[in-house]
Amino acid sequence: MNLVKRTGIALLILVFFMSMWMTYQLFEQSETPEINPTIAVDTVVKNLDTIETSKNEQQLSVAESEFLQDSTFLKHAGDGEAGYLFQKDSSKKIPSSTRRINIAIIGVDARMGTASKRADANHILSIVPDSGYIEIISIPRDTPADAGMKDSTQNKLTIVHAMRGTKAYLQEAGRIAKVGPVKFWIQLGFSQAMGIIELLGQRDSKSTLQVLRSRKGLGGDDYQRCFNQGQYIRQMILRHFTKADGLLGEILIRGGLALMRSNLSVEGIKGLAYDLKNAGFPKDPSSIIVKVRPETGIRYKVYNFNDSSSIKQLKSKIERFNAFMAKKDSSYAKKNIDPAGRLNKLLNNVALDTMQKPKKVLEQLYPYFEQHAWLQVRNEQERAKIRQRLGDYLISSFNKIGKPQNARWVQYVIDTEIEMFAGKPKATPQSAKR
């Protein structure tokens, strides 16, 4: 397999392919109870929300050992607040001449049903497959960049993606990250992010996403926020990569590609996973390094995002901050959104149009389909009903305007997502390919 084919790799492999082995278990686990902050430190540590393994398997994952063996984490965990370590300077130096595969992970801020393309989350996954190392370069959204705007205050990376498109964005992000050309990318929004988090075994995906998106509540502004996101990616890779072997890989890779927009390939993802594994990845916690660019003098806190109690404590801290700020600024007031109610209302409104106005149905529903908006619905039965109903309307409408291939694609995306979450692989029909 040549280099070009092997460069199809991104968060997909580091999330879905690595998680295949334990998909059956994720939805059978009950959520870990909230831990009383007054209990002993050793109890806090023992209650890490780990994926259940066989009784004979006692070895900790690389991600868990990083925290459990560090007294700094234990000290902070006993304070009643979320435990953390401070970012350590890495002694690992990766030669600049070593070949790299760079992939941009772009989190857009499009709300449910909207088409905003502003890049709210910006990360470059710089993979060195031959030596088995990964660098994650996290970039604050407001980092100065050429967005082509007359108003200089609008020339920032988040606007580059919205105004100049993906190609210009990759050039600017690569320049800021200083890792060389960035040729590959994936793009996802809120709904897809919540689906990924749920697949990784964190059932309260809304709370986890709230923590990862907080800019003020945890301090450090956008710098600590983008560092937190980079650390989440890092910790999920370290935790799940060794579980990459199994029969569900193909369906999870295809499901991941169907879930998000990307220019990656299934074969490329599988090829690079093979390269990383052969290089002994991950050897230790320093196999993945998170950097923030441009560089700052900030001493970043490393939270344990594998720990459900840590997520809950961080969420509580954010909500206390928001409640305090709401007394001074009403924009901090909590807004209650009912995803199921909104989607059902939309579907009820277009139901009568499926017979006579199929183009109108497609115009109104397809943005929600592309976003996988139903993944914001926490009740799984309600989510399944909304997904199937939305799919039925789109399939019917595509067939009525003479585009059966598009209808088959819609059905393939839905079927693949169901299989990805249920862990029941089946053959991929040739007619479902785009």
The arithmetic mean of pLDDT across residues 87-97, rounded, is 66
Helix (H, G, I), strand (E, B) or coil at 124: strand
Helix axes 404-422, 190-199, angle to 10 degrees: 40
The one-character DSSP state at 144 is: B
Other beta carbons less than 10 A from residue 279's beta carbon: 16
- Residue 368's pLDDT band (cuts 50, 70, 90): very high
pLDDT on residue 158: 95
Residue in the block written with tokens 């309307």: 393
Helix (H, G, I), strand (E, B) or coil at 154: helix
Which has the minimum average pLDDT: 6-15, 63-72, 139-148, 349-358? 6-15
The arithmetic mean of pLDDT across residues 238-252, rounded, is 69
The one-character DSSP state at 118 is: -
Asked if the bond preceding 37 is cis, omega within 30° of 0, the reply is: no
pLDDT on residue 247: 54
pLDDT on residue 376: 93
- The whole-angstrom separation of Cα 417 and Cα 27 is 14
Q: List, for residues 194-241, the tens digit of each pLDDT value.
A: 998 988 888 889 899 999 999 899 989 999 999 999 999 999 999 888
Asked if the bond preceding 282 is cis, omega within 30° of 0, the reply is: yes
pLDDT on residue 243: 62
- The whole-angstrom separation of Cα 300 and Cα 220 is 8
Helix axes 190-199, 249-259, angle to 10 degrees: 160
Instruction: Check: pTM over 0.75? Answer yes or no.
Output: yes
Strands 184-188, 101-108: pairing is parallel
Residue in the block written with tokens 């009950």: 30
The arithmetic mean of pLDDT across residues 265-291, rounded, is 88
Which has the minimum average pLDDT: 5-9, 68-72, 202-206, 297-301? 5-9
- Residue 387's pLDDT band (cuts 50, 70, 90): very high
Q: Distance of alpha carbon 164 from its chain centroid, rounded?
A: 24
- Residue 419's pLDDT band (cuts 50, 70, 90): confident
Residue 34 has pLDDT above 70, yes or no: no
Residue 147 has pLDDT above 70, yes or no: yes
Helix (H, G, I), strand (E, B) or coil at 304: coil
Q: List, for residues 302-320, the tens digit of each pLDDT value.
A: 999 988 889 999 999 999 9
Asked if the bond preceding 144 is cis, omega within 30° of 0, the reply is: no
The side-by-side arrangement of strands in the sheet containing 184-188 is 261-262, 184-188, 101-108, 119-128, 133-138, 288-292
Other beta carbons less than 10 A from residue 331's beta carbon: 8
Pick the closest to residue 258 from 419, 407, 416 (CA basis): 416
- Residue 183's pLDDT band (cuts 50, 70, 90): very high
Residue ranges covered by each domain of the chain: 3-24+87-308, 339-432
Pick the closest to residue 190 from 214, 210, 217, 215 (CA basis): 210
The string of DSSP letters for 342-375 reads HHHHHHHHHTTHHHH-HHHHHHHHHHHHHHTGGG
Distances 180 to 6, 27, 268, 294, 358 between C-alpha atoms, Å: 17, 40, 20, 15, 46
pLDDT on residue 55: 33
pLDDT on residue 51: 33
Query: Which of the given ranges, 83-92, 250-259, 406-415, has the highest pLDDT on average?
Result: 406-415
pLDDT on residue 21: 31
- Give the CATH fold of the 3-24+87-308 domain: Aminopeptidase (3.40.630)
The answer for residues whose C-beta is within 8 angstroms of residue 157's C-beta and 6 or more apart is: 119, 122, 139, 140, 141, 142, 143, 144, 145, 147, 169, 172, 173, 176
Q: Where are the alpha helices (DSSP H) in 292-357?
A: 308-326, 339-350, 353-356
The arithmetic mean of pLDDT across residues 356-365, rounded, is 94
- Confirm if 390 and 343 have CB atoms less than 8 A apart: yes
Residue 409 has pLDDT above 90, yes or no: yes
- The whole-angstrom separation of Cα 371 and Cα 387 is 12
Residue 45 has pLDDT above 50, yes or no: no
Tokens encoding 214: 């907080």
Tokens encoding 421: 């979450």
pLDDT averaged over every residue in the chain: 80
Note the residue count of the chain: 434
pLDDT on residue 255: 82
**Distance from the first to the final alpha carbon of the chain:** 23
Burial of 93 (0-12, 13-18, 19+ CB in 10 A): exposed
pLDDT on residue 326: 81
**The residue type at 175:** R
- The whole-angstrom separation of Cα 261 and Cα 95 is 32
The arithmetic mean of pLDDT across residues 105-112, rounded, is 88
Helix (H, G, I), strand (E, B) or coil at 294: coil
Report CA torsion sign: 167, 169, 173, 176: positive
